[in-house]
A and B are shown apart, each in its own frame.
Chain A
Amino acid sequence: MIEVHNLSKKIADVQALDQLSFSAGDGKITGLLGPNGAGKTTCLRTLFNLLDADNGWAKVDGINVKENPLKAKKGLGLFPDPFGLYERLSPREYIQYFAELNGLASSAASAACEEVIERLQMSDIADRRCKGFSQGQRMKTALAQAIVHKPQNIVLDEPTRGLDVMSTRTLRDLLLALKADGHCILFSSHVMQEVSALCDEVVVMAAGRAIAQGSPAELCERTEQDSLEEAFISLIGSDEGIAA
């Protein structure tokens, strides 16, 4: 469960977040949908206490991120954009490293690492160094890193950027499986199709604010539009910076 309340953050002269409030529940996929520059990444960074909000709070499973960052971060897994792989490590070493830093003991980390490698069907690349990996192989490694310690909440920043169809499908299947297991999944995106295909809840963001939150159907109903795309445009008043 991720909750954000009245979050404000000014970066230089730009009001990146402006009293942003929303919540992402367990067993659901919540999408942060907004055009480029809407404040999605700033919001996710604040959630990991990487940015210090001027106002408001963010809670992970009821733990205030600013007050107790280490405990709050234990409940989070991050799939970052860009991936930030270590090219000289193999996926197995990379995943194991993050499992251990997320608090797993060495033997538990090895077991969890093996499990996630099988789950993502990446045994063939698990012991090769990451240098020279394809985008799909990189995505799998980054994804494995984000879920290896089985965090209750998984945060993905623009996860499908640059992925081919097969990789996107792998990612989608995994997110649906994680949702079925009761995890809270929050991802930011500016790709309409991805959001409407996956999300139970959509938080529409523009200029640092949450303009609306609801299921795609609810948003269509509220705006009296037929598709999420139309609903989105009618909510933010423009389709600039949004990919169909």
Chain B
Amino acid sequence: MTAWIKIYKKEMKDAIRDRRSVMAALSYSIGTPLIMCILFIAMIDKFSSPSALYLTIENPQQAPELMRHLQSKDIFSKDALPEGKSTKAITLTIDDGYLYAMQHGELATLTITADFSNDNLRSSIRRLQRELRSFSREVAALRLIARGVSPEVIRVLDVQAKDTAKPEAKGGFIIGVAIFMMIYAVFISGMNLAIDTSAGERERNSLALMLSLPIRVSDLVLGKLLAVSSFALFGLCMILLVSKIAYAYVPWQELGANVIIDGRFALYMLLFSFPLALLAASMQLFVSFMAKTFKEAQSYLTIVLILPMGMAMVTGYDIGPDMLRWLPVSGQQKALMEVVKGNVLPWDSLLMATAITLLLTGALVAALMKLLSSEKTVFSL
């Protein structure tokens, strides 16, 4: 048996017995899908307008027809507020001259008063505006007919939209976030082990002892790298499993997105994330081997982990340059988003992103081996 296999086995045995490493891998994988689940459900409440909208209507007696129209669209005055429902802070004021203007075919004034910057009100305000416009169009059409003119005269364009998006392709941002949270498990789950096996080894004074053995530095690095990667992939499997269960409770159709975790998606996720696990492990080992203590490594890694997080956020919001699809993390994330949307896989960018991921891993492994061959690093000279 070659040395790296023995080192790998020992590292795994040691790590599984380390409650802190196991908890680190599990807590993210189990906690995140549950938090995301709650978050998505909260988003539905916030973004989708509730079926009945209650608001303050001033001077309603001036506009009985409009009131009937609004009521038919589930928009009511707060006077009719049933128990347990709340009123939105929107006031619709009907002008004193409304009834007169309507009866004489003149322009009638309505005023919507609300904080338009308030995200919680935005969809309700839009809904109210939409219904007022539709009422206005109806009355306008009737006025034209009364004057012997076809309402078609004022319709110039007949714009028809055909949405080619598959039902599962909508809500790109939500899909992006859900996928990134899964990919990020690769970066979080192995982190504690990476620190323990590097900076921790130095802190326990076992690093110099390991290096005094008749083994190659490459065996040492490979054994540790694979152990950390195994933990990273274990975290990914866990998050896939927990997400599959938790996401079943999210009413996706209301979000206009759907994250279905089936066998095909899980397979692609594991396949595409495998190089990322190696990259995460080599990066974390490299950074932690430079630190002298466990705590020092922890603070370095917290900063380093912002990088993949940033790349994924930019990809999720779709605000980054196009080249992101060729890069590690964002490249795999984009490809997985296409899988969820049921589109064709962008093989060219995925393969390039994978190649860059593996190249970076190789460079980091080479740097790690150099680091461990350097007496300055080993003995902190």
Contact = CB atoms under 8 A, between A and B. Distances in A.
Contacts of B211: 48, 50
B379 A45 contact: yes
Contacts of B212: 48, 50, 73, 76, 78, 80
Given A50-B379, A97-B10, A101-B7, A71 B214 contact: yes
Interface stretch (A85-93, A206-214, A223-231): A85-93
B6 A101 contact: yes
Interface string A74-109: 101010101111111100010001101111011000
Interface residues of B, number: 25
A233 interface: no
Interface string A47-78: 01011100000000000000001110110101
Contacts, number: 72
A99 to B, nearest CB: 10
Contact of A101 (B18, B208, B215, B379): B215
Given A102-B213, A102-B214, A11 B381 contact: yes
Interface string B191-214: 000000000000011111101111
Nearest to A103: B214
A11 B379 CA distance: 11
A90 B49 CA distance: 62
Please report whether the interface of chain A is mostly helix, strand, loop or mixed according to DSSP. Answer: loop
A101 B8 CA distance: 12
B371 to A, nearest CB: 14
B205 A84 contact: yes
Interface string A13-39: 000000000000000000000000000
Contacts of A51: 375, 379
B1 interface: yes
Contacts of A85: 204, 206
A82 B6 CA distance: 24
Given A69-B214, A86-B206, A100-B1, 16 more contacts: A12-B381, A45-B379, A48-B212, A50-B211, A71-B214, A78-B209, A80-B209, A83-B205, A84-B205, A85-B204, A86-B204, A87-B204, A93-B10, A101-B7, A102-B213, A106-B1
12 contacts: A11-B381, A12-B381, A45-B208, A50-B379, A51-B379, A80-B208, A84-B208, A86-B204, A88-B18, A93-B13, A100-B6, A101-B215
